[in-house]
Structure 1
Amino acid sequence: MSKYLLDKFLFTIDRDPALVERYRGEPRATVEWWEAEEANRILSCIADERSTWLAFDDVEREALATHDHVRLFELGAHPFLTLTLFIAMFERDHGPLEYQLAYGAALQHLSMPYPDIAT
């Protein structure tokens, strides 16, 4: 498991409006594409030097593919990264602050200490 890789996925998708829309509409395919094509570019690996550790495990892959922000938080993904990306994807489907309130309510069952979000 790599919190860094989870956070890097969330960060890079959030920074590109086309990728936000792709992830919203085809989450599983976007996760698979990003993991296969982009994850190794994080360290500027050339094709002959691709690393095998830059991959999601099955739990991470499923949480990303199903937009499960609660599970991502439990896995250690930074909550600000999930919140900003998910606002970009889903706020348009809700009234003012409705999505943000639902996001927070879904995390209410968690108590301190929260999962470590240090990278």
Structure 2
Amino acid sequence: MSKYLLNKFLFTVDRDPELVERYREDPVGTVAWWESSMANSILNCHSGESSTWLAFEPGEREALSSHDYIRLFELGAHPFLTLTLFIALFERDYAEPLAFQKEYGARLARFSLPYPDIST
């Protein structure tokens, strides 16, 4: 399992409005595309450097592909990265202000300290 790669996905997708929309509309295709073309790029490196070994585990790919932020939390994805991306994805689907954030909190309420380890 690579918490680094999960967090890198959340970070990079959240910072690109076109990728947010692509991920909202086609999560399976976006995850597959991102893993094959972006996963091994060096974060914040513009010189074309890349690695060759990073890939999602099947459970990680499944959680990302199904927008399962609860499972991502269980896998150790950073909750702030998860929350900000999923706000961008789903807040517009709720009529009440902060309704998605409240749902997010309620769905994570079953977790108690210590939370899953989010260190990378």
TM-score, normalising length from structure 2?
A: 0.91
Where does the alignment leave 5 or more consecutive residues of structure 1 unmatched? none
CA distance, structure 1, for counterparts of residue 58 and residue 89 of structure 2:
23
State the one-letter code of the partner of 2:23.
Y
Check if 1:51 corresponds to 2:45: no
1:42 Cα offset (Å) = 2.3
State the one-letter code of the partner of 2:101.
Q
CA distance, structure 2, for counterparts of residue 27 and residue 39 of structure 1:
15
1:40 Cα offset (Å) = 1.0
Percent identity, aligned pairs only? 68
Instruction: Identify the residue that residue 24 of structure 2 maps to in structure 1.
Output: 24
CA distance, structure 2, for counterparts of residue 89 and residue 42 of structure 1:
25
Check if 1:35 corresponds to 2:39: no
What's the Cα RMSD here?
A: 1.0
Matched residue SS, 1:41: coil
Cα displacement string for residues 47-77 of structure 1 (whole angstroms, at most 9, x for unaligned residues)? xxx513x000000000000010110000000
Structure whose residues are more often helix by fraction: 1
Cα displacement string for residues 75-115 of structure 1 (whole angstroms, at most 9, x for unaligned residues)? 00000001000001100011201000000111111111101
1:1-119 matched pairs, under 5 angstroms = 1-42=1-42, 44-45=49-50, 50-52=51-53, 54-94=54-94, 95-119=96-120
Matched residue SS, 2:41: helix
CA distance, structure 2, for counterparts of residue 41 and residue 105 of structure 1:
35
CA distance, structure 1, for counterparts of residue 3 and residue 42 of structure 2:
14
Matched residue SS, 2:42: helix
Which sits farther off after the overlay, 16-25 or 109-118? Answer: 109-118
How many correspondences in the alignment?
A: 114
State the one-letter code of the partner of 1:97.
L
CA distance, structure 2, for counterparts of residue 17 and residue 42 of structure 1:
21
Where does the alignment leave 5 or more consecutive residues of structure 2 unmatched? 44-48
